Amino acid sequence: MTRSTPWAAAFDDVGWRLPQILTVEATARAVEHLESYMRHDEHKGPEYSGSWFHRLGGGGDREDIKNVITSDDLVSLNTLNERAGGQEAIALLTDLSDWDRPEVPLDGTVRDSTSHRLPINPDQVTSLLRQIGTDLRLEDLTEDEFARFQALWDDLFWSLRRKKFGPVAVYKLCARKRPHLIPIYDTNVKKQLGIGDPVGFTAHLHRVLRHGDGAFARHLADIRSQVDEAADLSLIRVFDIVVWREEEQRRKHT
C-alpha cells in the first residue's frame, strides 16, 4: 500500500498513521467522500451542514471582518457540531468599555492556569489576526515563514483557549478565520491519524504537505479538482473532510 504512496514516509516521520483513504489506491473513494460531503439538495439543503462552515455569512476571512470574531463565526461552529459558550460569546461580541479585560499572558508560564480564568480579550485576538495574512497557504510556507506563523498561531490559540472552550473549538474557530492556514482538528481526525492531542498538529501537517516535492498537496488538489462543489475549499479543508468522513463511515459499519 505505502510503496505507491509517495507521502507515506512523511506521515511516519511525524508519528502519524497514514489513513488508507489518503493512499493513491483510494483516490476514487476519497473523491466520493468529498463529493458526498459537499452535496446540496435544492429542496432539502446540504447533505452535511459542515459543507457551509466556510461559506456562512460570506466566510470568516471576508475582507471587512477577517480580523474580528463575528456572530456568524460563532454560529458557523454549529455546522461542525461545536459551540461557543455564553461567556465566550459575550466576551467576543460585546463592547463593554467598563469591563476590565486584561490581555492573556503569552509567555507560556501561566497559560494553563491564569488564562482559563480571564475573559477573552477581543482586541488581543484582533491584533493577532491582523498579523496573520489571509493570502497565505499552509502548503506554500517555507520553514522560516512557517516559524513566524507558528509563533503567532500559538499566541492566537492561547488568547482564545478557556476551560469551557477547548482545543477542538479553538481550532475550528480559527480555521474559519484562516481557512488556508489553520486546519480543523477533531476526534475523527485524531482517530484516523492515531494521535492523542493537538500538540504540533499544524506543524506536522505543514511538514507532510511540504514533504519531497509537495506530492501530498498535489494529491489533495487533484481530489478537489474532481468535485465542482469543492472548488472554493482550501487544501487543508479537503484533507479534513476526507479523513473525517472516512472515520464516520468506519464507525457506521463497525
Instruction: Please give, one letter per residue, the 3-state secondary structure of 117-181.
Output: HCCCCHHHHHHHHHCCCCCCCHHHCCHHHHHHHHHHHHHHHHHHCECCECHHHHHHHHHHHCCCC
Pick the range with the lowest mean pLDDT from 124-128, 162-166, 211-215, 229-233: 162-166
Question: What does the angle CA 223 – CA 228 – CA 231 come to, to the nearest 5 degrees?
Answer: 75
Residue 110 pLDDT > 50: no
Mean pLDDT of 61-71: 97
The whole-angstrom separation of Cα 129 and Cα 124 is: 9
223 and 242 Cβ atoms separated by less than 8 Å: yes
pTM, to two decimals = 0.92
pLDDT of 31: 99
DSSP 203-220: HHHHHHHHSTTTHHHHHH
pLDDT in tens, 183-215: 999 999 999 999 988 989 999 999 999 999 999
In which band, very low, low, confident or very high, does the pLDDT at 246 lie, cut at 50, 70 and 90?
very high
pLDDT of 120: 86
Number of other residues whose CB lies within 10 A of the CB of residue 224? 23
DSSP 40-95: EETTTEESSGGGGTTTGGG-TT-TTTTTS--HHHHHHGGGGT----HHHHHHHH--
Mean pLDDT of 136-151: 98
| Residue 17 CA from chain centroid, whole number | 19
Mean pLDDT of 156-173: 93
pLDDT of 189: 98
